[in-house]
Amino acid sequence: MEGFFNRVLHVDLEGRRSWKEEIPDAVFQEFLGGKGLATYLLLRDLKPGLDPLSPDNILIFATGPLTDTLVFGSSRYGVFTKSPLTGLYLESYAGGDVAEFISRTGYDAIVLHGASRKPIFLEISDREIKFHDASHIWGMETYTAEDAIRQELAFAKVGVAVIGPAGENLVRFALIENNYWRSIGRGGAGAVLGSKKVKGIAFHGTQKREVAHPDILMDFWKEIGKKGPQTATAIAYKKFGTPMVVQATNSVGAFPTQYWAKGTFEKWKQISADALLEQCEVKAHACPKCFMACGKISKVKEGRHAGLTIEGPEYETIDALGGICLVDDIREIIYLNDFCDRLGIDTITAGNLAGFTIEASRRKDIGYKLEYGDVDGIAQLFYMMARREGIGAILAEGVKHAAKAWNLEELAVHVKGMDPPGYEPRVLKGMALAYATSDRGACHLRSTFYKAELSGAIPPEQVEGKARTFIDWEDRLTIQDCLILCRFFRDLYLWDEYAILIKGCTGMELSRQEIQALAGRVLNLAREFNLREGMRVAEDTLPPRLLLEKLLDSGKGITSEELSLMLEEYYSLRGWC
Ligand code: SF4
């Protein structure tokens, strides 16, 4: 089918062999590509009930039918596996330039099976698969590992994704990183790559996907290129990036603070977008095929981190390292962000674990003392997590494990083992439904429903009737994930635009109802995967603290009844009851 190579590459890491599989059109007609194809493969090829860090787990890199076309926002790839953090379905997506290089290998997805006996890095192209020795780079931080692979291959045109020490040490929230700062962040895909003894993968090739109607995509590109950059959203992303959300959430009391005790941070201005622009030299930076340029290359101007440069920090990182841990200086958040990136750990989980440790050490003797705002102590904790040293060995297993080990399960904030990002579900009640039902645990991205609630499209406190709007967003963004498009194009690409894009790349002429039905089928696959892995429906909930405790500053809360009402409506509309 146009838009696809109709080919998946399977790589056996133990036997050092590979084979190609032809994928029939019927699979793409049913599930499209990206998330749709990868979830179909996961369900088909993964034996139920196995240890996510065993060689039998598979790790899938996937692109979509628009990858490496001219469509704005198409420079993203996805990674799919069974999560070592939740034991359930995992999807994660990253920008940067890697997606285009993966696409040029000529496969819709690349599936890694088994585990190498020795550290390797893979070179995957349209011509061959090479298994390079990586013993000399094993142990390296992410930036140096990426540089080393690039130097060794000496290709000007290569996309490289790597893991850091945390991935090697099977830390259950280890990430995969590309272009230094673009992360397959949540849920521990880096640990799965580490368990396979793969330090990194370099992709290159010359294959170009054929699309059904290049003229349709060209017209679409012209239209979006004309109106897109003038929109208020694009202008704001270019100037402020995601840090602008600090003000938006804090002003409505939805900025998780002091490990989920409050929804506002008194010192929010010091970690806001304005603080970033004041304290750093900031340059807008974009993935290929993007005018939004939400990325911010930030160089600290003064102080103990003067000269330190990263792309970021993103809003969710600012909340996890700033709000949750009461770190009140954007430069220190940049420092901690850099620390996490180098070690290869997810900033959202790392920050939440630091907050949990601070609260735990205040309540009882856990053999370690940490205080809010203690930046160097938090950095040291991250180092120990990544190396599994001391208390880090407990935290490396994730919050669920640490809570059990310290007998503090009532304190821990997570859904299905995954720590939530920076949107307070006691204020943004649709986010309660999002966290409870997302296929990868507490996740803000499946529906990005905070946007609907913060923008006033639907009142945040509304409960009854909310599931219908929520499903509209979730389905629409599921289609984004099957095409693998950037979330920040969600206001420009609505149902009509998806119909144009799908026709342009695949030739399929689908009505809105048919596109939405396709999204529903893909979500059903992910749900089926989780139920097969033993997930119980009762786990579609919030942690007890968020249901029982009110926010200390606003007194706002969400009751079990309110969540149940949203869940019942949601299940009924999804046909899950
Ligand atoms: S909006 Fe940001 S993340 Fe999305 S494609 Fe553009 S630069 Fe990349």
Last residue of a domain, one of 350, 384, 401: 401
Predicted local confidence at residue 156, as pLDDT: 73
* Residues 235 and 195 occupy one common structural domain: no
- 321 vs 476: CA distance, rounded Å: 30
Q: Which residue has the tokens 């296929």?
A: 439
Decide: 126 and 105 in contact? Cβ < 8 Å: yes
Q: Which of 434, 428, 370 is nearest to 570 (CA)?
A: 434
**Are the C-beta atoms of 510 and 501 separated by less than 8 Å?**
no
Cβ atoms of 198 and 13 within 8 Å: the answer is yes
Please check whether residues 507 and 396 belong to one and the same domain: no
Any atom of ligand 1 within 6 Å of the Cβ of 198: no
- Report residue 456 as tokens: 């006033």
Taking CA atoms only, the protein residue closest to ligand 1 atom 5 is 73
Q: What is the pLDDT of residue 114?
A: 98
Find the CATH number of the domain harbouring 472: 1.10.599.10
Please give the distance, rounded to the nearest whole angstrom, from the Cα atom of residue 36 to the centre of ligand 1.
Answer: 22
Q: Tell the residue nearest (CA) to atom 4 of ligand 1.
A: 486
Report how far ligand 1's centroid is from the alpha carbon of 12 (Å): 33
Residues 29 and 146 in one domain: yes
Shortest-distance atom of ligand 1 to CA 73: 5
How many Å lie between the centroid of ligand 1 and the Cα of residue 75? 8
Q: Could you report the per-residue pLDDT of 124-149, keeping only the tens digit for each?
A: 999 999 999 999 999 999 999 999 99
| 218 within a domain of the structure (yes/no) | no
Q: Does the beta carbon of 287 sit less than 6 angstroms from any atom of ligand 1?
A: yes
> What atom in ligand 1 is closest to the CA of residue 72?
5
Do 505 and 69 form a contact (C-beta atoms < 8 A)? yes
Alpha-carbon distances, residue 560 vs 97, 255, 297, 467 (angstroms): 44, 21, 42, 16
Answer for the pair 495, 512: CB distance below 8 angstroms, yes or no: yes
Cβ–Cβ < 8 Å for 332, 340 = no
* Separate counts of helices (H) and strands (E) for the chain: 23, 15
How confident is the model at residue 90, as a pLDDT?
98
Could you please report the per-residue DSSP string of 350-392? HHHHHHHHHHHHHHS--S----TT-HHHHHHHHHHHHHT-TTH
Residue 88 near ligand 1, beta carbon < 6 Å = no
Q: How many angstroms separate the CA atoms of 442 and 420, rounded?
A: 5
Q: How far is the CA of 201 from the centre of ligand 1 (A)?
A: 22
The closest-lying atom of ligand 1 relative to the alpha carbon of residue 293 is 7
Per-position DSSP letters for 481-540, written without gaps between them: HHHT--GGGTTT--HHHHHHHHHHHH-----HHHHHHHHHHHHHHHHHHHHHTT--GGGS
pLDDT digit string, tens, across residues 495-526: 999 999 999 999 999 999 999 999 999 999 99
Query: What average pLDDT does this structure show over 346-357?
Result: 98
According to the model, what pLDDT value does residue 113 have?
98
Q: Are strands 120-124 and 198-203 parallel, antiparallel or unpaired?
A: parallel
Residue 217 lies in a domain: no
Mean pLDDT taken over the chain: 97
Count of alpha carbons within 13 angstroms of residue 83, beta-carbon side:
28
Atom of ligand 1 lying closest to residue 289 CA: 5
From 426, 420, 447, 416, select the one nearest 535 (Cα to Cα): 416
Q: Would the pLDDT of 94 be above 80?
A: yes
R_g over Cα of the chain? 22
Whether 449 and 391 share a structural domain: no
Please tell me whether residue 299 adopts helix, strand or coil conformation. Answer: strand
Strands 109-113 and 7-12, sheet pairing:
parallel
Omega prior to 313 cis, within 30 of 0: yes
Q: How many domains does the chain have?
A: 3
Residue nearest to atom 3 of ligand 1 (CA): 95
Q: Specify if 74 maps to a domain.
A: yes
Examine the domain organization and report whether 355 and 456 are in the same domain. Answer: no
131 and 176 together in one domain: yes
As given in the structure block, the two tokens for residue 190 are 């880096």
Atom 2, ligand 1: which residue's CA is nearest? 294
Main-chain phi, psi angles of 43, to 5 degrees: -65, -35
d(CA 368, CA 391): 7
Would you place residue 400 in the very low, low, confident or very high pLDDT band (cuts 50, 70, 90)?
Answer: very high
Provide the whole-model pTM: 0.98
Q: What is the CA(241)–ligand 1 centre distance, in A? A: 10
**pLDDT tens for each residue of 527-564:** 999 999 999 999 999 999 999 999 999 999 999 999 99
212 within a domain of the structure (yes/no) = no
Beta carbon of 405 within 6 Å of any ligand 1 atom: no
CB atoms within 10 A of CB 36: 27
Instruction: Judge if the beta carbon of residue 109 lies within 6 A of ligand 1.
Output: no
Residue 408 sits at the vertex; the CA angle it makes with 407 and 412, to the nearest 5 degrees, is: 140
Spacing, Cα 21 to ligand 1 middle (Å): 32
Q: Which residues touch 483 (CB under 8 Å, ≥6 apart)?
A: 32, 33, 34, 64, 65, 66, 74, 498, 501, 502, 505
Distance 551 CA to ligand 1 centre (A): 33
Say if residue 183 is in the same domain as residue 118.
Answer: yes
Asked whether the predicted pLDDT for residue 363 surpasses 80, the reply is yes
How far does the centroid of ligand 1 lie from the alpha carbon of residue 265, in Å? Answer: 28
Residue 424 within a domain: no
Q: How far away, in angstroms, is 258 Cα from ligand 1 center?
A: 30
Kindly state whether residues 118 and 158 are assigned to the same domain. Answer: yes
pLDDT at site 577: 78
User: CA–CA separation, 163 vs 176, rounded Å?
Assistant: 5
Please indicate whether residue 53, judged by its CB atom, sits closer than 6 Å to ligand 1: no
- Residue 502's pLDDT is what? 98
Residue 565 CB burial class (10 angstroms; 0-12, 13-18, ≥19) = middle
Q: Which of 310, 253, 264 is nearest to 283 (CA)?
A: 310
- Binned at pLDDT 50, 70 and 90, residue 266 comes out as very high
Concatenate the DSSP letters of all residues of 1-42 into one string. Answer: -TT---EEEEEETTTTEEEEEE--HHHHHHH-STHHHHHHHH
Instruction: Answer yes or no: is the C-beta of 488 below 6 A from any ligand 1 atom.
Output: yes
Residue type at position 456: G
What pLDDT was estimated at residue 155? 75
Q: Could you tell me the CA-to-CA distances from 369 to 361, 365, 384, 408, 524 in Å, in that order?
A: 5, 8, 14, 16, 44
The H-or-E segment that residue 469 falls in is helix 466-483
Q: Is the dihedral of CA 273, 277, 281, 287 positive or negative?
A: positive
Is 68 found in the same domain as 180?
Answer: yes
State how far the Cα of 162 lies from the Cα of 167, in Å rounded to an integer.
Answer: 9
pLDDT tens figures, 54-77: 999 999 999 999 999 999 999 999
294 ligand 1 Cβ < 6 A: yes
**Pairwise CA distance, residues 32 & 53, whole Å:** 28
Model confidence over 375-388: pLDDT tens digits?
999 999 999 999 99
Q: Looking at the predicted structure, is the pLDDT value of residue 194 above 90?
A: yes
Q: Are residues 139 and 265 in the same domain?
A: no
Ligand 1 neighbour 284 (Cβ under 6 A): no
Return the CATH number at 181. 3.60.9.10
C-beta separation of 284 from 296 below 8 A: yes
Instruction: Give the CATH number of the domain where residue 276 resides.
Output: 1.10.569.10
Residue pointed to by tokens 């509309």: 573
Close Cβ partners of 118 (under 8 Å, ≥ 6 residues apart): 133, 134, 135, 197
107 and 250 inside one domain: no
| Residue 410 counted as domain residue | no
Nearest atom (ligand 1) to Cα of 294 = 2
CA 211 to centroid of ligand 1, rounded, Å: 23
Identify the domain containing residue 284 by its residue range: 230-401
Q: What's the whole-number mean pLDDT along residues 279-295?
A: 97
Shared-domain flag, residues 340 and 461: no
Predicted pLDDT at 220: 98
The 3-state DSSP class for residue 112 equals strand
Counting from 1 in the atom list of ligand 1, the atom nearest the Cα of 291 is 6
Ligand 1: nearest atom to the Cα of 286: 7
Q: Give bridge partners of residue 61 from the DSSP assignment.
A: 79, 110
Distance between Cα 293 and ligand 1 center (Å): 6
> DSSP letter at 262?
B
Q: What is the pLDDT of residue 154?
A: 84
Q: Is residue 209 part of a domain?
A: no
Asked if residue 73 has its Cβ within 6 Å of ligand 1, the reply is yes
- Residue 255 DSSP symbol: S
Report the Cα–Cα distance between both ends of the chain, in Å, rounded: 35
Q: Which atom of ligand 1 lies closest to the CA of 96?
A: 8
Contacts for 445 with CB less than 8 Å, ≥ 6 apart: 93, 477, 487
| Ligand 1 near 295 CB (within 6 A) | yes
How large is the average pLDDT for residues 245-267? 98
% of the chain at pLDDT higher than 70:
100
